[in-house]
Structure 1
């Protein structure tokens, strides 16, 4: 090959040998005989561009934090080796300088990563201590459903956290695992007791159903209704049966009651229809009874009331929904007649009237005696005695006035 081609960073001689210049001097990097020297220079230049691109990408990845310090260091060593043995034309020394410049950046990134890991480890330690503390509280609680759910959530939180030092992580994990085991053991024991209690409740309720069904055909409405109330009280006290049978048991128990109460309601409905006529009779009686109000003649009202009461009793029962209204109205009349009679008796009680007369007589005689003594004291001009006698006289006079008023009430 007779042509010789030159490049800013190397050349191709007449034998096709390719050389590159570096700070250490010129070295042969290959031979070119596949085409013109210019084509050879272009190919070796493109190899350099590839190396330069790798260096640039490494710089950007390190700057952007998309590569770890360790991976970046390995990449630098790899590219450096490629540059050292490169069969490329270009400023290889500048690429080495750029790689050298990455070392401080890698060291800085390594320190930042280290500090970041330390911070995350510290946060993880706080978080794991919090998880363990909460788990230990749950282990002693009786909130079985929410407790189990929360422990599962705490386990997922634990898994998402980074590990601590082996000793610290193992110690916290042991506490966390023990808390979960304790809660699970206590939870199983609790539900074991619940299962036993539910089975006992099932047996009790099955017996109550037998009793309820035996009563369902009874026509002793009042006593049987009371027995059903007692059975319901026992049912509630029995507690819950297993979930898969509780609803079935309740439906059977309720069905037995429904048979009885439906039959009772049908009878009562029929009676209410029959008693409706009685209610109309009692409304007519109430018209006569309420004419006695207000009571002005207690004795006449008392005599009339006896006849009304007999008619009322003879009228018979009324529908249940009318009973309260009718009874309240007749009781109003009865109470008015009774109160008027009692008031009349009190005002004409001969014994009380006699006591009042006797009291008036005694007071009058006592007043006369005091007045006689007062006349003598005035004659003797005994001021002190006059004052005492006058006070005594005023007191006795006041009692006399009261006794006369009471006597007037009996007249």
Structure 2
């Protein structure tokens, strides 16, 4: 029987001409979750010539023809098509349960629904359709949740990108002379690496938004790079100028290195050092090398001077021994007992001191200071003797004694008069004045005795 003929026990339903007999395929192995033929037979009818009908809600629908095969083989062929749809549906259900990306799920559901609608398979069509519709609702819920999560992720990613842009712009806006370029360049490179990483691994922003942010970020990097190039170009010029100045100072230092004018040349080197300190620094590498050359020139001079001083000091060592002995002799003059004899001895020591000659530079100040201390001690004794024997001082002292004695005599008379009158207030006042003058007199008499 062809697809245009009617089966004797089939309902009066014409078969569509599009359902042509299919060639007998190679029988495939049943897939997992396959539908038993006994179960599938409840939803199908197979004619003797291999025509297969699927029964949906009591109505038969032509599925196709599987010629030259048994009814079981014809039924199994179209059941496998049904099982394939069910397998795909189960896989999709698992993906929904696992919350996999839902982007292609509606299309898959439409494909499965369209396959069912073609009626080229045998099984519980209504049950599968119901599962598809139920899954549509689950997919819709999942898609909505994922859209919400994606929107939140985009909002968060937008904050991250804007933060990167703002940091890059902040670096670009700094004045070049205030930037630590090594640190800042590393920071800008890190920002760029972070930008690329977020672009690669995070949710994508709307194209217009991403393009606008990238333009800002790129502009900030361009400005930063321009400032860096300008800064280092200026720095190179400044370093070059500083290097030229220091090269001139080195030349002057090297010209003085062989001088034997020890005092004058040392002063010139101090001036050169002051100029060096006031000059600009070159690059660290150049400045260190320039300083080494400058110091080397000075070292030549100062080492030569030190060698000469050492030679001189060796010659003066014997003079130091003589002056150390003279110091001991001078110290023995103190304290002064007889000023005249002490001064004579000190003058003799001074003469021998001059004859002894120079001493090593390191000892000069020490021995000279020690001799001055002895001289000051003798001078102090001389001053004290003069103070005691000064006629003018004695005269002033005697005059004051006379006046004070006369004042005391008058105060004693006043006190006697007050006592006779019995005036207590006057007596107290006179006694107080008399006591003060008497104390002054005692002090003056003692000082006058020291002048004798």
TM-score grouping bracket, smaller chain normalisation? 0.7 to 0.9
Query: Which deviates further from its counterpart, 18-27 or 204-213?
Result: 18-27
Using a 3 Å threshold, how does the CA distance of structure 1 residues 335 and 63 change in structure 2: closer, same or farther? farther
Query: Which deviates further from its counterpart, 98-107 or 302-311?
Result: 302-311
The answer to whether structure 1 residue 208 and structure 2 residue 249 are counterparts is yes
User: 1:54 aligned to 64, 88, 92, which one?
Assistant: 88
Q: Deviations over 1:149-205 (max 9, x none)?
A: 333433444553667667766666666555555544444444343333222212212
Query: Under a length normalisation based on structure 1, what TM-score does the superposition of the two structures give?
Result: 0.81
Using a 3 Å threshold, how does the CA distance of structure 1 residues 40 and 233 change in structure 2: closer, same or farther? farther
The aligned counterpart of 2:103 is: 70
The aligned counterpart of 1:297 is: 337
The answer to whether structure 1 residue 227 and structure 2 residue 271 are counterparts is no
The aligned counterpart of 1:101 is: 134
**C-alpha separation in 2, matches of 1:258 and 1:325:** 28
Displacement of 1:399: 2.0
Contact 1:18–1:31 (Cα < 8 Å) also in 2: yes
Query: Which deviates further from its counterpart, 207-216 or 333-342?
Result: 333-342
User: 1:238 aligned to 244, 266, 279, which one?
Assistant: 279
User: 2:114 aligned to 73, 81, 86, which one?
Assistant: 81
**C-alpha separation in 2, matches of 1:301 and 1:60:** 124
Secondary structure of the 1:208 match is: helix
The aligned counterpart of 1:16 is: 50
Aligned length, in residue pairs: 406
Q: Deviations over 1:297-354 (max 9, x none)?
A: 3725554444444444444444445556555655554554455554555455443343
Using a 3 Å threshold, how does the CA distance of structure 1 residues 224 and 93 change in structure 2: closer, same or farther? farther
Q: Deviations over 1:201-224 (max 9, x none)?
A: 122122212211211110112221
The answer to whether structure 1 residue 369 and structure 2 residue 402 are counterparts is no
The answer to whether structure 1 residue 147 and structure 2 residue 184 are counterparts is yes
Query: Which deviates further from its counterpart, 277-286 or 82-91?
Result: 82-91
Matches within 5 A, 1:6-405: 7-10=38-41, 12-23=46-57, 25-32=59-66, 38=72, 44-67=78-101, 69-85=102-118, 88-138=121-171, 139-141=173-175, 142-145=178-181, 146-159=183-196, 160=198, 179-242=220-283, 245-292=286-333, 295-297=335-337, 299=339, 301-323=342-364, 326=367, 329-330=370-371, 332-405=373-446
Contact 1:20–1:89 (Cα < 8 Å) also in 2: yes
Query: Which deviates further from its counterpart, 230-239 or 148-157?
Result: 148-157
**C-alpha separation in 1, matches of 2:87 and 2:385:** 128
**C-alpha separation in 2, matches of 1:331 and 1:315:** 17
RMSD, aligned α-carbons? 3.7
Secondary structure of the 2:250 match is: helix
Using a 3 Å threshold, how does the CA distance of structure 1 residues 40 and 170 change in structure 2: closer, same or farther? closer
Q: Deviations over 1:261-314 (max 9, x none)?
A: 222222223233333333333333343344445x25372555444444444444
Secondary structure of the 1:70 match is: coil
Larger radius of gyration: 2
Contact 1:7–1:41 (Cα < 8 Å) also in 2: no
**C-alpha separation in 2, matches of 1:292 and 1:86:** 142
Secondary structure of the 2:441 match is: helix
Unpaired segments ≥5 residues, structure 1? none
Using a 3 Å threshold, how does the CA distance of structure 1 residues 289 and 63 change in structure 2: closer, same or farther? farther
Query: Which deviates further from its counterpart, 340-349 or 246-255?
Result: 340-349
Bigger helix fraction: 1
**C-alpha separation in 1, matches of 2:327 and 2:111:** 118
Displacement of 1:9: 1.4
Using a 3 Å threshold, how does the CA distance of structure 1 residues 117 and 388 change in structure 2: closer, same or farther? same
